[in-house]
Amino acid sequence: MFNLNKAGMSKKRLQETGAVSALSAPSPAKPSAGAGSGRGLTARGLVVDYGSGPVLGPLDLDLPEHGIYTVLGPSGSGKSTLLRTAAGLVPGFGGHLAYGGRPLGGRDAAAAGVRVGFVPQNYGLLPWHTALANVRNALKIARPQEPRAQREQAALRWLALTGLAGLEGRYPRALSGGQQQRVAIARAFAVRPDLLLLDEPFSALDAVTREGLQSLLLESWRRQPSTMLFVTHDVEEAVLLGRQIIMLTGRGSMPSSEAASSSAGVRLIDNEAVFSQEDRNKRESEAFYEQVRQIRHLMREGW
């Protein structure tokens, strides 16, 4: 898929030394040294290690809030791990991860109260709850202080906005894959998250359904902007959705001595040229093709 041919591999090490290089200047997401307390998502020396060498990091990131960041990387680059860590699913990690200055993912994250919406690849719906109950219960956990009627209204509203009006009472088993993912998106938006994390959410869907859901996601995000991290292995999807594209270096191809000492290769690619286009023109635009071509080229050159 990634066309990492042998020639590309040999050049890889050169590329990695520059931890972040903005491809298209000027990038609004250009990290400045010591910007750890800024708004948005920041990572400082983030390392995840399950016991057999780091699977992610050390990683430094500064992502201003209200952006859509698509995360690209070969398998083993730790892109899902980055997402799961931010979602609080990897309790033991090294370094520092924060959103708007508030700690994220770690033990003090619960008290810090960063609201996280998470959409996993397998939809993550509870099969014993109806579509409505899935959204309702997520809201009850994320916003216990809100009146019940208000939560119910939010749940119904988002289900309607994701095109599920009339299907609220269905159990996940009675919904198609695309519909289930719509419920998952409705649930993620309904909690009004600060940070929205999506882990290859559309990879199990057919092409037509996927395009519909990509548009729905952008539409929902415009209605209620949050900082969105979207992991994908599909270059076109990354270009189509991202305002910025984060490219992570594969860990597996790195010599272990280097892996331990250097910061993992991260590349932040500005995608505003594509992002600013209207949805229905995007796929056919010159900018889109050009960006996809460039990224494919970069991938061949070595991450």
Partner 1 sequence: MKKNAAHSSRELGVQSAQKPMRSAVGSHSSTRTGFRGTVLRLLGVFAVLHVLWALLAAALQRDILPSPWVVYPALIHLDGAEMLTHVGASLIRVCAGIGLALAVGLLLGLLMGRSPRWNRLLDPVVYLTYPVPKIALLPVAMLFLGLGEASKIVMIALILVFQVIISVRDAVKAIPIDTYDVLTSLGAKRMAKFTQITLPGALSAILSTLRISLGTAFSVLFFTEIYGTEHGMGYFIMDAWLRLDYPGMYAGILLFSGVGFLLFVLVDLLEYRFMRWRAY
The reply on whether position 166 binds partner 1 by CB under 8 A is no
The reply on whether position 138 binds partner 1 by CB under 8 A is yes
The reply on whether position 187 binds partner 1 by CB under 8 A is yes
Taking the complex as a whole, the smallest distance from the CB of residue 162 to partner 1 amounts, in Å, to 16
* Residue 207: exposure state from Cβ atoms within 10 A (0-12, 13-18, ≥19): exposed
Taking the complex as a whole, the smallest distance from the CB of residue 245 to partner 1 amounts, in Å, to 23
Q: Among the candidate windows 46-54, 170-178, 225-233, 276-284, which touches partner 1 by CB under 8 A? A: 170-178
* Residue 84: exposure state from Cβ atoms within 10 A (0-12, 13-18, ≥19): buried
The reply on whether position 167 binds partner 1 by CB under 8 A is no
Distance CA 56, CA 59 (A): 7
Candidate list 25, 33, 141, 208; residue touching partner 1; CB under 8 A: 141
Interface positions, 194-233, toward partner 1 (CB under 8 A): 197
Residue type, 300: R
Q: Among the candidate windows 67-75, 129-137, 155-163, 207-215, which touches partner 1 by CB under 8 A? A: 129-137
Q: Across-strand partners of 244? A: 69, 270
The reply on whether position 73 binds partner 1 by CB under 8 A is no
CB 264 within 8 A of CB 57: yes
| Look-up of token digits 């579509």 | 131
Candidate list 127, 147, 166, 255; residue touching partner 1; CB under 8 A: 127
Candidate list 39, 129, 192, 283; residue touching partner 1; CB under 8 A: 129
CA distances from 47 to 53, 59, 91, 187 (A): 10, 7, 12, 30
Taking the complex as a whole, the smallest distance from the CB of residue 67 to partner 1 amounts, in Å, to 20
Number of residues that bind partner 1 (CB under 8 A): 31
Closest to partner 1 by CB, 173 vs 222, is: 173
Residue type, 156: L
Candidate list 41, 48, 55, 116; residue touching partner 1; CB under 8 A: 116
How are strands ordered across the β-sheet holding 54-63? 54-63, 41-49, 94-99, 102-103
CB 253 within 8 A of CB 9: yes
The reply on whether position 126 binds partner 1 by CB under 8 A is yes
Q: Which residues contact 136 (CB under 8 A, 6 or more apart)?
A: 151, 152, 155
Pairing of strands 94-99, 41-49: antiparallel
The reply on whether position 183 binds partner 1 by CB under 8 A is no
Taking the complex as a whole, the smallest distance from the CB of residue 85 to partner 1 amounts, in Å, to 11
How many residues are recorded in the chain?
A: 303
Candidate list 171, 192, 234, 272; residue touching partner 1; CB under 8 A: 171
Task: List interacting residues with partner 1 (CB under 8 A).
Answer: 84, 87-89, 109-110, 113, 115-118, 120, 122, 124, 126-130, 137-138, 141-142, 171-174, 184, 187, 191, 197
